[in-house]
């Protein structure tokens, strides 16, 4: 067990997911967007159980001697997870049923159940069932220890409690029916009149139609269930064998893995639940009561009926004119570094970086790291066009990107077929750098251009993920970026050092610790010492201990952590100089920014890396410094706006209460909206910098 204040990563993650649920109950959030936050919460939780809880279940199976080697008690953590999730699920149901559903009705949107239907709607539902559902439903009578169908991962099922009609002393019988939401829309529009929109869920159409599937039985009741399965691939990290083949084989097993969560309608009778436990070999750690319906990530597809007032006001991405309208794209980058901040800026300049390179006869090489990529990608199309134009194109594909493994393998095959030189994952290490490099023949010799980012090369997520990226021709950065690619392409550790970049497996962890140590040294000398650190997750125990050490020396530390935060701030004698906030809003905070005061000569880094063990010890990550004076000021302004957020910022503390941050400022500061208009103003006029406190 840890000897210093520390919150287990999975308990902290559940606290983060609750912040997502808070958005669903926030009445200031437009109604359709609240439904989307229910979907995000549910999707997050499903993945959590398929990966993290599955891991805990495996730990519970190992012998106690092995468990004692862990720095936590897996049984205790598992119990705490179950308790927290059950409480959150009850709140989820209350938010949906008592708050959102009545609000939908006030806007003439009625989500009906089968008993609410009038005669016309019943006729519609029955016709819909016979015309559309009948080929897909799979009714099966269960017989304990004899008939036990395989439950597909994350598929929806209806359990049916019934009795034989002609039996004078009928016994309870049970059956299951698959709800074909993988083939048909989950929400079905009913005949509407007088501006009233009536909707029914596919689940309720099946409930209404059960009587036709079991004609010899009386239907007593129906209850929904869902089983999610362990999604870990469990690929050994040995340095031999064909890693790609191992991944391909493991992907086929993902949907048939052991149970990680069995969710059921909490109103289900105990006898039926026990029957299902026996039938499907479920244990106490598998069972999770939910509301009447599952797979609530389908709320992403809830119809909006064109009601724009029930959705977020649009914030159309702002064109980055210095590049998008540049007479000479490359000359603009040679002249100065450029910062784009998506989704506030358009992603067009990033796409143009590759499309212009593909068409430019002076470009000889294009290199890129692919971690997650859109299904339809102009960037990938540009790379294939570049090969046709005679350029050398090299793509490193990380096929171990969880839940994108298959998509990345498909892209790899397409790129190879087009003539792209493709390199794949290393055993034991993930490549998570967000990096691209272009070589161009110019007067005086070849010139390198780089794009370094905190986010993936993904045109779709660039519309909802908040990320920062720089275009640069600064040789301090481009030459070292080239060294990263040399390592990735030669699959061997180069005997060279990095002076400017911090790179995972080389100098990343040591470089970060050195920055903190400088602040500690300055604080001990009575000098001002401070750092502002923004990241997705903070879990690495060594880094947390280093931050505690800094706090105890008098370093003022401000953390902006979206997700996991295992550090406990505000503890006297340990972390009283550390403050932590988390911002959850319409865009996903994804940028990592590290600012160290450095005796007034701030060191500012952007990064692909969070401060987790996996990022700092088992990944190729890239942390890059910001040298351009104007960009440095912009980043400082963005940090200040986030630190002043008093609308969407939550306070992170040892109690995991997620209280909203309040201050004495009368003006509401919602950082994502403020950032959008800050960038818009900056684009129109040269505004005065906000600056950081001295």
Is 381 inside a domain boundary? yes
CATH of the domain at 285: 3.30.1840.10
pLDDT at 54: 78
Instruction: Tell me which DSSP letter residue 647 carries.
Output: S
Binned at pLDDT 50, 70 and 90, residue 239 comes out as: very low
- Does position 254 have pLDDT exceeding 80, yes or no? no
Q: Which of 290, 310, 330 is the last residue of a domain?
A: 310
pLDDT at 241: 46
Q: Which residue has the higher pLDDT, 142 or 368?
A: 368
Instruction: Tell me which residues are annotated as active site.
Output: 432
Are residues 476 and 517 located together in one domain of the fold? no
Q: Taking a C-beta distance cutoff of 8 angstroms, is the pair 264, 223 a contact?
A: yes
Are residues 98 and 29 located together in one domain of the fold? yes
Is 243 inside a domain boundary? yes
Binned at pLDDT 50, 70 and 90, residue 450 comes out as: very high
**Which residue shows structure tokens 């720089």?**
470
Are residues 480 and 580 located together in one domain of the fold? no
Helical spans, DSSP H, in 107-229? 119-128, 202-213
Is 281 inside a domain boundary? yes
- Does position 235 have pLDDT exceeding 60, yes or no? no
pLDDT at 688: 47
Q: CB 687: neighbour CB atoms within 10 A?
A: 11
Instruction: Tell me which DSSP letter residue 228 carries.
Output: E
pLDDT at 495: 60
Binned at pLDDT 50, 70 and 90, residue 692 comes out as: very low
- Does position 249 have pLDDT exceeding 60, yes or no? no
Is 678 inside a domain boundary? yes
pLDDT at 280: 84
Are residues 617 and 553 located together in one domain of the fold? yes
Is 693 inside a domain boundary? no
Q: Which of 470, 490, 510 is the last residue of a domain?
A: 490
Is 664 inside a domain boundary? yes
Are residues 329 and 270 located together in one domain of the fold? no
Give CA separation, 672 vs 561, 631, 640, in Å.
15, 18, 12
pLDDT for 574-604, tens place per residue? 999 999 999 999 999 999 999 999 999 999 9
Instruction: Tell me which DSSP letter residue 147 carries.
Output: B
Closest Cα partner for 154 from 56, 265, 266, 42? 42
pLDDT at 244: 54
pLDDT at 234: 47
CATH of the domain at 514: 3.30.870.10
Are residues 183 and 285 located together in one domain of the fold? yes
Q: CA-CA distance, 202 to 301, in Å (whole number)?
A: 13
Binned at pLDDT 50, 70 and 90, residue 496 comes out as: low
Is 459 inside a domain boundary? yes
Binned at pLDDT 50, 70 and 90, residue 147 comes out as: low
Structural domain count of the chain: 3
Binned at pLDDT 50, 70 and 90, residue 677 comes out as: very high
Rg (CA), the chain: 28
Are residues 484 and 509 located together in one domain of the fold? no
Is 190 inside a domain boundary? yes
Residues contacting residue 111 through CB under 8 Å, at least 6 positions apart: 101, 104, 199, 200, 201
Using a 10 angstrom Cβ sphere, with 0-12 exposed, 13-18 middle and 19 or more buried, the burial of residue 219 is: middle
pLDDT at 65: 61
Q: Taking a C-beta distance cutoff of 8 angstroms, is the pair 22, 658 a contact?
A: yes
- Does position 687 have pLDDT exceeding 50, yes or no? no
pLDDT at 1: 53
Binned at pLDDT 50, 70 and 90, residue 240 comes out as: very low
pLDDT at 253: 54
Are residues 639 and 557 located together in one domain of the fold? yes
- Does position 246 have pLDDT exceeding 60, yes or no? no
Q: Which of 261, 285, 310 is the last residue of a domain?
A: 310
Q: Taking a C-beta distance cutoff of 8 angstroms, is the pair 624, 477 a contact?
A: yes
Q: Which residue has the higher pLDDT, 173 or 552?
A: 552
> Averaged over 185-203, what is the pLDDT?
92
Are residues 346 and 463 located together in one domain of the fold? yes
Binned at pLDDT 50, 70 and 90, residue 685 comes out as: low
- Does position 258 have pLDDT exceeding 90, yes or no? no
Domain span at residue 179 reads 9-310
Kindly report the average pLDDT of the chain as a whole number. 89
Q: Rounded to the nearest 10 degrees, what angle do helices 348-359 and 378-388 cross at?
A: 10
pLDDT for 119-134, tens place per residue? 999 999 999 999 999 8
Q: Taking a C-beta distance cutoff of 8 angstroms, is the pair 28, 672 a contact?
A: no
* Residue 637 φ/ψ, nearest 5 degrees: -65, -45
Three-state DSSP class for residue 469: strand
pLDDT at 237: 42
Are residues 325 and 278 located together in one domain of the fold? no
- Does position 208 have pLDDT exceeding 70, yes or no? yes
Are residues 674 and 627 located together in one domain of the fold? yes
pLDDT for 37-67, tens place per residue? 999 999 999 888 888 887 877 777 766 666 6
Q: CA-CA distance, 539 to 653, in Å (whole number)?
A: 15
Tokens representing 392 are 């050398």
pLDDT for 71-82, tens place per residue? 778 888 989 998
> Averaged over 347-364, what is the pLDDT?
98
**Which residue shows structure tokens 């784009």?**
340
> Averaged over 472-494, what is the pLDDT?
88
Q: CA-CA distance, 91 to 18, in Å (whole number)?
A: 10
Residues contacting residue 607 through CB under 8 Å, at least 6 positions apart: 454, 502, 535, 592, 593, 594, 621, 622, 623, 624
> Averaged over 456-471, what is the pLDDT?
96
Q: Taking a C-beta distance cutoff of 8 angstroms, is the pair 291, 266 a contact?
A: yes
pLDDT at 62: 67
Q: Taking a C-beta distance cutoff of 8 angstroms, is the pair 546, 519 a contact?
A: no
| Percent of the chain whose predicted confidence (pLDDT) is above 90 | 68
Are residues 29 and 145 located together in one domain of the fold? yes
- Does position 690 have pLDDT exceeding 50, yes or no? no
């Amino acid at each position: 067990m840890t000897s210093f204040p520390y919150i287990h990563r999975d308990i902290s993650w559940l606290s983060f997911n609750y912040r997502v649920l808070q958005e669903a109950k926030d009445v200031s959030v437009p109604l359709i967007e609240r439904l989307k936050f229910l979907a995000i919460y549910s999707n997050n939780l499903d993945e959590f159980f398929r990966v993290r809880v599955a891991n805990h279940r495996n730990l519970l199976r190992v012998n106690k001697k092995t468990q004692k080697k862990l720095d936590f008690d897996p049984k205790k953590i598992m119990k705490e997870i179950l308790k927290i999730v059950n409480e959150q699920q009850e709140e989820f149901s209350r938010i949906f049923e008592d708050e959102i559903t009545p609000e939908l009705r006030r806007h003439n949107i009625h989500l009906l159940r089968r008993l609410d239907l009038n005669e016309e709607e019943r006729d519609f539902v029955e016709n819909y069932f016979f015309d559309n559902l009948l080929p897909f439903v799979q009714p099966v009578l269960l017989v304990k220890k004899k008939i036990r169908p395989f439950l597909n991962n994350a598929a929806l099922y209806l359990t049916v409690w019934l009795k034989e009609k002609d039996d004078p002393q009928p016994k309870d019988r049970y059956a299951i029916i698959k709800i074909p939401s993988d083939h048909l829309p989950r929400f079905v529009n009913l005949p509407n009149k007088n501006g009233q929109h009536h909707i029914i869920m596919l689940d309720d159409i099946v409930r209404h139609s059960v009587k036709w599937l079991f004609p010899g039985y009386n239907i007593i009741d129906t209850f929904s269930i869902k089983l999610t399965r362990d999604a870990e691939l469990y690929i050994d990290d040995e340095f031999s064998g064909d890693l790609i083949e191992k991944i391909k084989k493991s992907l086929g097993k993902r949907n048939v893995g052991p149970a990680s969560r069995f969710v059921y309608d909490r109103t289900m009778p105990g006898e039926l639940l026990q029957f299902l436990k026996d039938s499907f070999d479920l244990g106490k750690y598998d069972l999770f009561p939910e509301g009447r319906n599952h797979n609530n990530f389908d709320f992403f597809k809830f119809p909006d009926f064109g009601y724009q007032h029930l959705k977020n006001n649009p914030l159309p991405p702002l064109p980055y004119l210095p590049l998008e309208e540049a007479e000479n794209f490359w000359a603009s980058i040679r002249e100065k570094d450029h910062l784009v901040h998506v989704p506030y800026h358009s992603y067009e300049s990033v796409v143009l970086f590759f499309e212009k390179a593909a068409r430019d006869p002076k470009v000889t090489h294009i290199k890129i790291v692919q971690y997650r990529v859109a299904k339809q990608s102009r960037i990938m199309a540009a790379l294939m066009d570049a090969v046709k134009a005679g350029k050398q194109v090299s793509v490193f594909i990380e096929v171990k990107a969880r839940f994108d493994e298959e998509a990345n393998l498909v892209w790899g095959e397409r790129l190879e077929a087009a003539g792209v030189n493709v390199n794949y994952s290393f055993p034991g290490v993930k490549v998570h750098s967000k990096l691209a490099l272009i070589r161009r023949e110019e007067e005086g010799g070849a010139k390198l251009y780089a794009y370094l980012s905190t986010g993936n090369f993904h045109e779709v997520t660039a519309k909802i993920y908040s990320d920062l990226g720089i275009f640069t021709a600064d040789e301090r950065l481009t030459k070292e970026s080239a060294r990263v690619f040399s390592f990735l392409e030669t699959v061997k550790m180069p005997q060279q050092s990095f002076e400017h970049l911090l790179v995972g497996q080389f100098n990343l962890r040591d470089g970060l610790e050195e920055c903190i140590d400088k602040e500690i040294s300055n604080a001990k000398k009575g000098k001002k010492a401070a750092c502002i650190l923004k990241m997705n997750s903070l879990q690495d125990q060594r880094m947390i201990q280093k931050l505690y050490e800094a706090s105890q020396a008098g370093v003022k530390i401000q953390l902006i952590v979206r997700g996991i935060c295992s550090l406990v701030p505000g503890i006297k004698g340990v972390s009283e100089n550390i403050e932590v906030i988390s911002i959850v809003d319409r865009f996903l905070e994804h940028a990592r920014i590290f600012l160290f005061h450095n005796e007034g000569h701030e060191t500012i880094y952007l990064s692909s890396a969070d401060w987790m063990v996996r990022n700092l010890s088992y990944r190729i990550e890239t942390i890059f410094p910001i040298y351009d004076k104007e960009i440095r000021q912009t980043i400082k302004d963005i940090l200040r706006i986030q630190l002043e957020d008093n609308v969407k910022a939550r306070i992170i503390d040892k109690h995991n209460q997620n209280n909203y941050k309040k201050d004495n400022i009368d003006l509401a500061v919602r950082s994502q909206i403020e950032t959008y208009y800050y960038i818009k103003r900056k684009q129109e006029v040269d505004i005065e910098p906000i600056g950081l406190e001295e």
